[in-house]
Structure 1
Amino acid sequence: MTRTAGEGDPVPIYADLVRERGDVVAEAQQAAARTQQHAAELLGGQHAGQPQLRTA
C-alpha cells in the first residue's frame, strides 16, 4: 500500500523541487506579508484588509 502526503510522511518530490527551484510557497508567503505591510503603511498605518472605523 502506498502512503499519501496527508499521512505525515514528507513528500519526496516536494523536497526535490525545493532543492532544485527554491521554496516557492515560502517566497510567496513572504511577498504577501511584505505587500500587506506596505499597503498598511500606505493606508496610514491601519491593518490591510480591516476597514478603518470613522466617526461622524
Structure 2
Amino acid sequence: MFQETPIFSRLVDERGDVPAQVRGEAERIRRGLDQLLRRSPGPDPSAPPNLPGPKAPSASL
C-alpha cells in the first residue's frame, strides 16, 4: 500500500507519526459519536421539521 521514503522517515523522527495520530484521534471521536447516537432518542415523528423560515428584513440605513 504505502512504502516509506527517507523523507517520510525523517519527518516521523522529527514530528512523530502524525498520520497515525490523526487516525487514532478520528477513531476516538467516532467511538464517542457512536456511543452518543446509541444513547440519544431518535427524532419525534410527530414534531414539525426544523426548516429555516423567511428572514426578517435588515434595518440598516
Task: Find the structure with the greater CA-based Rg.
Answer: 2
Q: TM-score with structure 2 length normalisation?
A: 0.56
What one-letter code is carried by the residue in structure 1 that aligns with 2:19?
A: V
Q: Does 1:14 align with 2:25?
A: no
Greater helix percent: which structure?
Answer: 1
Instruction: Name the count of aligned residue pairs.
Output: 40
**Quick one: higher RCO (CA 8 Å, sep 6+), 1 or 2?**
1
With 19-28 and 36-45 compared, the bigger mean Cα shift is at: 36-45
Q: Does 1:28 align with 2:22?
A: yes
Match of 1:40 among 34, 42, 58: 34
Percent of residue pairs identical: 36
Supply the distance in 1 between the matched residues of 2:25 and 2:3 (Cα, whole angstroms): 28
Q: TM-score with structure 1 length normalisation?
A: 0.61
Q: Once superposed, which parts of structure 1, at least 4 consecutive aligned residues long, lie more than 3 Å away?
A: none
What 5-or-longer segments of structure 2 have no aligned partner? 40-61
What 5-or-longer segments of structure 1 have no aligned partner? 1-5, 46-56
